[in-house]
Amino acid sequence: MEAPIAPGAQPRIPVVSWRALVDRLSFEHRQHAYTRVAAQALEEYELGLNEALTLPSRIAAAHQFIRRQNMAKANEVVKRAAKMMGTRHAELNVITGDEQITIASVDTGTNTVHCSDGWCQHVVGLGRELAIDDATQHALVRGTDVAHSGSIMSYMGTPIVFNGHVVAVLCVYGNEKRAWAEADAERLRDLTEGLRS
């Protein structure tokens, strides 16, 4: 039998329970829930995120995905994503152990940054799309330098699964707040079909 929760104390929310609850919510309600994540749940999520990022079979699949990628096709998908979603910024990022490798981009070129400097790592951790309407309010990114600077205020990323693992993310983003809808997530998801082979 569990001990009762003291008055005024925050209950411990296991990340599995929190994620299961969030997964059952509608797209719009998920966006609201992410702004209210308890600190304890966030700490437990970050532990799970590290495990997902460093899983050897996922890292091997990510490198294999890069080797098999048709770069002309990848660049075309990224351009279509930016146009379809009405953003100036779109990228295809592969997440390895501790790196986010941009292999196709509308405006930033190819580059590599540490995972902690990018938001696509959270798509790997969640195993689903991530939509951020307002970076200053979203529990997973509001503490980042990018959110504080205002250089990215809205973001949407959708996972690309290869060999059973989330290895890459097609994302769009902008420097203004934006209310994303389920239809946006579906359009972005549809664009990734040609990249999953």
| pLDDT per residue as tens digits for the range 160-193 | 999 999 999 999 999 999 999 999 999 999 999 8
Q: Looking at the predicted structure, is the pLDDT value of residue 3 above 70?
A: no
**What's the CATH number where 89 sits?**
3.30.450.40
List, for residues 143-152, the tens digit of each pLDDT value: 888 888 888 9
57 pLDDT more than 60: yes
Question: Looking at the domain assignment, is residue 165 inside a domain?
Answer: yes
For residue 117, the model assigns a pLDDT of: 84
In a domain, 56, yes or no: yes
**pLDDT value at position 12?**
41
Please check whether residue 176 lies inside any domain of the structure: yes
CA neighbor of 115 nearest in space, from 96, 91, 134, 138 = 96
Q: Residue 56 — very low, low, confident or very high, per pLDDT cuts 50/70/90?
A: very high
Q: Is the pLDDT of residue 28 over 60?
A: yes
Domain for residue 10, yes or no?
no
Task: Supply the pLDDT for residue 24.
Answer: 57
What is the pLDDT at residue 155? 95
pLDDT > 60? residue 4: no
Mean pLDDT for all residues in the chain: 83
In a domain, residue 134? The reply is: yes
Q: What is the pLDDT of residue 32?
A: 58
Residue 153 has pLDDT above 90, yes or no: yes
- Per the domain annotation, does 3 fall within a domain? no
- Count up the domains in the chain and report the number: 1
**For residue 37, pLDDT beyond 70:** no
pLDDT tens digits for 126-149?
A: 888 999 999 998 888 888 888 888
Interval 64-110: pLDDT, tens:
999 999 999 999 999 999 999 999 899 999 999 889 999 999 987 78
**Domain membership flag for residue 1:** no
Q: Say if 66 falls within a structural domain.
A: yes
**Domain ranges, residue 129:** 15-195
